[in-house]
Amino acid sequence: MRRRGLATAAALAALCMASISGQQVPVAKAYANGGAGEGAQAAMVRPLPPAPASFADEQALADYIDLALSDSWQAEGLTPSAPVDDVTWLRRLSLDLRGEIANADEIQRLLADVAPDRRARWIDAFLGDRRFATQLANRWTKLLLVGAGMNSTRMVRYVRPWLETQFAANRPFRDVVTQMLTDTCDSEEVDGCGLMLAYFDSIESLTAITARSFLGLQIQCAQCHDHPFDKWKQDDFNRFAGFFADSRADFAPLKDRAVAEDAEAKLEARREAKREARRAAETAGGAKGRAGSDGGMRAMGVASDPAGVEILGELEDSPIRCGFVVEDLAPEMVLSKNLRKLERRANSGGKVRARKAMSGDAPENPPSDPAGMEMAAAAGGDGESAPGTRVERADGAAINDLLRLLQQAARAGDKAPLSVEKASARLAKEKVAFDRLVAQLQPDARALFDKYEDRRESFSTPGFPDGSKFVSHSGVSKREELARWIVAPANPWFGASIANRVVQQLLGKGLVEPVDDLSGSVDRVMPELLDVIGRAFHEHGTDLRFLFGAIARTHAYALGAATSADAWTATESERRLAAHPARALTLDQFCRSLRKATDPAFGTANEAEAIAKEEWEVRAQVHTLSKLCTAPDGTGLIWWSASIPQALFAMNSETSTIGPADVTTTSYASFADVGLDPVARLSPLWRQMIGRAPAPDEAARLLALLPGDAARLPTTFSELRWALLNSTEFQVNH
By CB under 8 A, what part of segment 548-587 binds another protein? Answer: 560-563, 567, 570, 574, 581-584
Q: How many residues bind another protein (CB under 8 A)?
A: 105
Under a CB-based contact definition with an 8 Å cutoff, are residues 702 and 694 in contact? yes
Q: Applying CB under 8 A, does 289 fall inside the site for another protein?
A: yes
Q: How far is the CB of 602 from another protein (least distance, A)?
A: 22
Give least dist CB 732 to another protein, A.
Answer: 6
Q: Is 151 exposed, middle or buried (0-12, 13-18, 19+ CB in 10 A)?
A: buried
Q: For residues 48 and 507, which CB has a smaller minimum distance to another protein in the complex?
A: 507
Contacting another protein within 175-234 (CB under 8 A): 208, 212, 218, 220-221, 229
Q: Does 280 bind another protein (CB under 8 A)?
A: no
When asked if residue 443 is in the footprint of another protein (CB under 8 A), the reply is: no
| Residue 552 and residue 123 in contact, taking contact as beta carbons nearer than 8 Å | yes
Interface residue with another protein among 362, 490, 648, 674 (CB under 8 A) is 648
Distance in Å, CB of 222 to another protein, minimum: 11
How far CA 409 is from CA of 119, 258, 344, 423, 487, in Å, comes to 73, 38, 20, 8, 45
Virtual torsion, Cα 218, 492, 246, 469, nearest 10 deg: 120
Give 273 or 702: the residue with its C-beta nearer to another protein: 702
HSE-CB for 55 with a 13 A CA cutoff: 24
Instruction: List all residues 6 or more positions away from 172 whose beta carbon is below 8 Å from its beta carbon.
Output: 541, 542, 543
Q: Which is nearer to another protein, 481 or 574 (CB)?
A: 574
392 binds another protein (CB under 8 A): yes
Choose which of 68, 203, 335, 346 interacts with another protein (CB under 8 A): 346
| Secondary element (H or E) of residue 584 | strand 583-586
Least gap, CB of 277 to another protein (angstroms): 15
Q: Contact with another protein (CB under 8 A): which of 649, 668, 671, 717?
A: 649
Secondary structure class of 248 (helix, strand, coil)? strand
Q: Interaction with another protein in 62-101: which residues (CB under 8 A)?
A: 81
Answer positive or negative: Cα dihedral of 69, 70, 74, 78. Answer: positive
Using rule CB under 8 A, residue 715 touches another protein: no
Our finding on whether 635 is near another protein (CB under 8 A) is yes
Q: Show contacts with another protein in window 663-692 (CB under 8 A).
A: 690
Angle of helix 587-598 relative to helix 130-145, nearest 10 degrees?
150
Using CB under 8 A as the binding rule, whether residue 22 contacts another protein is answered as no
Do residues 595 and 656 touch, judged by C-beta distance below 8 A?
no
SS (H, E, C) 372-395: CCHHHHHHHHCCCCCCCCCCCCCC
Q: Does 436 sit near another protein (CB under 8 A)? A: no
Binding residue for another protein, selected from 53, 114, 300, 705, defined by CB under 8 A: 705
* 3-state class (DSSP) for residue 518: coil
Of the two residues 465 and 508, which places its CB atom closer to another protein in the complex? Answer: 508
According to the binding rule CB under 8 A, does residue 633 interact with another protein? yes
What part of residues 127-166 is at the interface with another protein (CB under 8 A)? 146-147, 149
Which DSSP state fits 25?
Answer: P
Closest to 603 (Cα-Cα) out of 4, 204, 132: 132
Q: Interface with another protein includes 727 (CB under 8 A)? A: yes
535 binds another protein (CB under 8 A): no
Output the smallest distance, CB 230 to another protein, in A: 9
Q: How far is the CB of 214 from another protein (least distance, A)?
A: 14
User: Which of helix, strand or coil describes residue 311?
Assistant: helix
> Are the C-beta atoms of residues 204 and 220 closer than 8 Å to each other?
yes
C-alpha to C-alpha distance for 29 and 528, rounded to whole angstroms = 10
310 and 274 Cβ atoms separated by less than 8 Å: yes
DSSP 3-state assignment of 328? strand
Site for another protein in 450-489 (CB under 8 A): none
Smallest gap from residue 66 Cβ to another protein (A): 21
288 vs 415 by CB, closer to another protein: 288
* Cβ distance to another protein smaller for residue 192 or 350: 350
Q: Is 600 in the site for another protein (CB under 8 A)?
A: no
- Residues of this chain, 303-332, that bind another protein according to CB under 8 A: none
Minimum distance of another protein from residue 191's CB (angstroms): 26
In three-state secondary structure terms, 249 is strand
At 207, the amino acid letter reads T
Q: Does 357 bind another protein (CB under 8 A)?
A: no
Of 380, 463, 600, 714, the one binding another protein (CB under 8 A) is: 380
Q: Which range of residues in 19-27, 159-167, 255-263, 512-520 is near another protein by CB under 8 A? A: 512-520
What does the alpha-carbon distance between residue 31 and residue 448 come to, in Å, rounded to a whole number?
41
Bridge partner residues of 733 (DSSP): 583
Residues 405-434 contacting another protein, CB under 8 A: none
Based on CB atoms, which residue is closest to another protein, 470 or 722?
722
Q: How far apart are CA 558 and CA 123, in angstroms?
A: 12
Chosen residue from 47, 313, 417, 514 binding another protein by CB under 8 A: 514
Beta strand residue intervals within 401-514, DSSP E: 512-513
544 belongs to the binding site for another protein (CB under 8 A): no
- Taking CB under 8 A as the rule, does residue 284 contact another protein? no
Task: State the CB neighbour count (10 A cutoff) for residue 604.
Answer: 12
- Between CA 148 and CA 52 the distance in angstroms is 42
